[in-house]
Structure 1
């Protein structure tokens, strides 16, 4: 992505604080030590994902690069970064609020639309926040599916959630409006890597995106911090 002067703002972070309702603060205390990135599961499987760089761009006011990045949508809110941060920076809240800002600018809607089918097939039915197998072809080729990754860590292939837990998840989804929101935006097909064909793999790597969501015109995102998988996948 070519950067322009207008894409930067010296006071972006200060203006963002009240908009983010106090959830995004103290980023200026970041030491850029990299502990957040070193323990991050998302960074381990996606080399371009780097929480330290996201914080740097937030503080420096690199608005376009930050809000348009694919990497902004690769956090799974495990809070490992928060627990290891020597400055006690609550990075997951940063991600949550910045995603709202990105969506307002038209970025990230392809990921949001995927959640509808994911929520219906996995989260609301089983209570698991990560599917029992990995759909990302870049991960499957190198690490296997989620079940294999869990077994390698000494865990059961699939996490079991009680019926009461699933009922509570669905109740919270209804009360917070998530259920109605997911139905409103619609979803895109979730593809099964276990029965993958060359045509299906092409669809998986090039997910469909709506041209407009309500009054918001959507835009393509960018791998702003490096193509995942290195030069080989960047040229694919």
Structure 2
């Protein structure tokens, strides 16, 4: 019984430290940088402000602004088949002098799943591209994004799964790759403002948006084809 109490106390302390770190991090960084949002994501910003609640827009802005802290590199399928050291790298990142982290959620930029595990859970034929997203500040810290032919994606940070918010790694990939696009229904419909439910069909027909007006024009030209292929993961998910 004593061991159980000690374990629970240890976990609570770790969660408290992690919460304090995130709060400090958010207070220490100016997230609403006009340069990042307006120059890279202006079309997306106009769209999310029209349909999503202010709190959700604020969280998306944070991810947009953090995206500048990363770089992208495309991986071939052969590279991913030979890639088996992501767990080892993540453990080495702590360093020998640091306390072991038993819960990976306690580490801000840890991958919450591994690339091989992710690839084993999906059909190889549905995969479009695989990218590695690396932090400029900590080169040993990285995530992987797998994009699919139907327009959805999965990032190993799992922010879209755990918090239902498009992550900073995906926004970085949008800047790097003009074929990577944003759609409102990548996120749950429960984030919509109340009056947006009166226009749900209009929202579904909104075009995919890139990070420039050139991308947007190209998307609109192929709008019908893309909408047929796109099956939003969270559509009608309340």
* TM-score normalized with structure 1 length: 0.26
Name the one with the larger strand percent.
2
